Structures are given as C-alpha cells and as structure tokens.
Amino acid sequence: MKITFVTIFPGLVEDFFKEGLLSKARRTNKIEIQTINPREFTTDKHETIDDFPYGGGAAGTVMKVEPLVAAIRKATAPKGGLRPYKKSLAASRVRGQAKSCLVILLGPSKKVFNQTMAKKLTQYKHLVFVCGRYEGMDARVEKYVDTKISLGEFVVMGGEVAGLTMTEAIVRLLPGVIGNEVSLKEESYGSMFKLEYPHYTRPEVFEGKRVPKVLLSGNHQKIAAWRKKMSK
C-alpha cells in the first residue's frame, strides 16, 4: 500500500515512521510513504500557501486552492498527468483486485473514522491524505478529493495527526504487519468483541491486587469463557 500525505510539515510525517511496527512495515516494503509539500507549487519567493479569507471576519488565514490542487494532482498522477476534475480514481479498479486510489480530505465531517472504516480502507492500493492548517482550506479543494473524513468532534491544529492516526489503524490490519494476526480478531472493536478483555502479566500479586485465578488455571476453555464474559 502507498500512502501519500499532502502537508506543509513533511518532517512531522516522516518522523512518525521511524519507530515501531510502522518503521518495520516501511523497511519491508509493506507500505510506501510519500510526502508532498504544497509549497513546491507556489509561485512567489516567499512560497505563500495561505491568504486572508474573502468576506473577512475569520481569526486567521485560509490555505490557497492552487498549490493544494497541484499537490493532489502530483500525488494521483505519478507520470505527470493531471487528475480529472471531480472524477474519482477510487472507481478505477478490476473486480477481485485492490481498489486503486482514494483521496481523503481531513477535516470536520459527518463521516467519522472508526475501525470498520479502517478495514474498508485496507482495500486500496493508494491513500492520499490532504492535511489542512490555519483556519482551513479554500472550499474548492473539495472538488478534487474523493471523500472527507473527521477523526472526531474536537479540534486539533492540523490534519497530520489525524492522518497519521488513521494510517496506523489501517496499516496494522495489512497482512504481515502484526506478528500474531489472531489478536486482531480479539482486540477492541475487532470482529469477535466490541471492547477487549483485560490483560495481566507478572507479578501475580501487586500491592494486594491479584491476577484472576482462572487465568492461572491452565484450563483454556474456562479462560476463553472468562475472556468472552469480560469483553463488552
């Protein structure tokens, strides 16, 4: 899977993939990470990416449409062609094969990211996350994306953190990324349980608090029943 971030802070994204399983997934070519900075497509010496909004009244500036659309076109047209206006590349697929590309605008939306969505997004060969900053983006950018997704009903300073969170949720579901793939079914929001059962490890007793006896019994049927009961 290829994952592209359209961001004015490429270093923030690159650092995220230097540790842990995401770093390993990148080294073993299970994922390819690309960053595209919209500043590359500005035309002034200051590489201006934002401007004051029409109509006034806003507390800050708005990201300009031209460099953002140019960055999206670069992300979705590896041979230098232009992305067709308002035409979804997600529809470009062959039955039985992975879907082609999905361009995701990160921002306030009725479509809120969850585990079910993470599973669906693993079907794509290429995900493009368009990350906003400042007061937001020129609304015309929405004509050049496939969908708009929110991480939740709260405000952060940019789309990068949201995109990276979604990426981790998606990538860990790809074959071979997690060592024990059975755990994916048993964990919270997996296919077996809504919320995962509690976990314990050594020591058996900590400040008077003991590990449940059933987990020490060696009876796998009873342990499985307890775990199912404790899952919510």
pLDDT, tens digit, 9 for 90 and up, residues 109-154: 999 999 999 999 999 999 999 999 998 999 999 999 999 999 999 9
Write out the binding residues for S-adenosyl-L-methionine.
132, 151-156
All residue ranges of the chain with pLDDT < 70 are 78-98, 181-193
Of 115, 99, 112, nearest to 184 (Cα)? Answer: 115
Give the DSSP letter of residue 84: P
Q: How far apart are CA 127 and CA 109, in angstroms?
A: 18
For position 78, what pLDDT does the model report?
A: 60
Q: How far apart are CA 89 and CA 197, in angstroms?
A: 40
Q: How far apart are CA 126 and CA 6, in angstroms?
A: 13
Pairing relationship of beta strands 99-106 and 124-130 according to DSSP bridges: parallel
- Please count the other Cβ atoms lying within 10 Å of the Cβ belonging to residue 77: 14
- Alpha-carbon 83 to chain mean position: 22
Beta strands in the chain (DSSP E): 2-6, 32-36, 50-51, 62-63, 99-106, 124-130, 147-149, 205-206, 209-210
Q: How far apart are CA 149 and CA 224, in angstroms?
A: 37
Please name the residues in contact with 232: beta carbons below 8 A apart, sequence gap of 6 or more. 193, 194, 195
Q: How far apart are CA 27 and CA 224, in angstroms?
A: 36
What number does CATH give the domain 2-171? 3.40.1280.10
What number does CATH give the domain 182-230? 1.10.1270.20
Residue 177 structure tokens: 């990324």
Of 5, 16, 121, 10, nearest to 74 (Cα)? Answer: 5
- Domain limits, CATH 3.40.1280.10, in the chain: 2-171
For position 86, what pLDDT does the model report?
A: 47
Are 124 and 52 a contacting pair, CB within 8 Å?
no
Write out the binding residues.
132, 151-156
For position 190, what pLDDT does the model report?
A: 60
- Alpha-carbon 79 to chain mean position: 25
For position 156, what pLDDT does the model report?
A: 94
For position 133, what pLDDT does the model report?
A: 95
pTM of the model: 0.84
- Domain limits, CATH 1.10.1270.20, in the chain: 182-230
Would you mind telling me the total number of residues written for the chain in this entry? 232
**pLDDT cut 70: percent of the chain above it:** 85
